[in-house]
Amino acid sequence: MAVKKGDFIELEYSGLLEDGTEFDKSQKPMVICLGEQHMLSGLEKSLEGKEVGHSYEIKLSPEEGFGKRDSRLIRLIPLGKFIRENINPMPGLEVSIDGVLAVVKSVNGGRVLVDMNHPLAGKNLRYKIRINRIVTDDSEKVRAIIAIRTGIEDVNVSIDGSKCRVSTKNEIPEDIAEKLKDEIKRHTKISEVEFETASKAKDGK
């Protein structure tokens, strides 16, 4: 059976550079929805039409992966900015610049050269992927959406008809919860979603 955009699929993968260096690998089978950018959009597009139960090797150009390197994302920052934030910049150190992760390249003359490009920008990539199955169960879809969007995997999902109750150990911020509700409703038969923390549910609050 071939998979298509909008399908939830369980897969396993490893990501490699051209020289065979592995930079990413699924620790266990994971579920994604094709077309929702749960993985690289270029990778998801390449998976469309592939068969369940088969393994594939997919090559991605920089444009299909993490983009080309952009010289505009290499900036000189005054050393004083780091000192005021109690940061001792050294080559190789990862720092946050205006909310964007950057890597310190050099420190000279009171200025710090940082690279804000993604570490894999400009790289040709290879992905080895096995598509295990198509997921049709709504509770699995809900858990997959939450895991991809928040990183939270310890989730209890209870579905009663078109209503869904999601219980997590940690409270999910309201703005994120609203986006999760919208995505869940788009991809399932669920029309009502309620989030609660496990502690509050236990206390009956």
Instruction: Tell me: pLDDT of 99 over 90.
Output: no
- Are 33 and 91 found together in one domain? no
Q: Specify the pTM.
A: 0.84
- Are 127 and 152 found together in one domain? no
- Are 93 and 192 found together in one domain? no
What pLDDT is recorded for position 170?
85
Per the prediction, the chain carries an average pLDDT of 94
What pLDDT is recorded for position 199?
63
Q: From 47, 49, 103, select the one nearest 73 (Cα to Cα).
A: 103
Instruction: Tell me: pLDDT of 198 over 90.
Output: no
Query: Percentage of the chain with pLDDT > 90?
Result: 91
- Are 60 and 15 found together in one domain? yes
What pLDDT is recorded for position 91?
95
Q: How many domains does the chain have?
A: 3
Instruction: Tell me: pLDDT of 33 over 60.
Output: yes
What pLDDT is recorded for position 204?
52
Per the listing, tokens 């997921």 go with 135
DSSP codes of every residue in 65-112: TT----GGGEEEEEHHHHHHTT----TT-EEEETTEEEEEEEEETTEE
Select the more confidently predicted residue: 98 or 176: 176
Span 41-54, average pLDDT:
97
- Are 53 and 126 found together in one domain? yes
- Are 15 and 104 found together in one domain? no
- Are 62 and 93 found together in one domain? no
- Are 142 and 200 found together in one domain? yes
Token pair of 9 as six digits: 């699929």
CATH of the domain at 153: 3.30.70.2210
Token pair of 4 as six digits: 């298509």
Instruction: Please check whether residue 131 is in contact with residue 51, taking contact to mean a CB–CB distance below 8 angstroms.
Output: yes
C-alpha span between 66 and 62 (Å, rounded): 6
What pLDDT is recorded for position 98?
83
- Are 131 and 141 found together in one domain? no
* Helix, strand, coil percentages for the chain (3-state, nearest 5): 25, 40, 40
Instruction: Tell me: pLDDT of 200 over 70.
Output: no
Domain limits for position 38: 1-67+122-136
What pLDDT is recorded for position 205?
46
- Are 9 and 59 found together in one domain? yes
**What tens digit of pLDDT does each residue of 135-164 get?**
999 999 999 999 999 999 999 999 999 999
Between β-strands 192-197 and 163-168, what pairing exists: parallel, antiparallel or unpaired?
A: parallel
Q: From 93, 84, 99, select the one nearest 113 (Cα to Cα).
A: 93
What pLDDT is recorded for position 132?
98
Q: How far is residue 70 from each of residues 75, 87, 119, 121, 145, measured CA to CA in Å?
A: 11, 25, 12, 8, 31
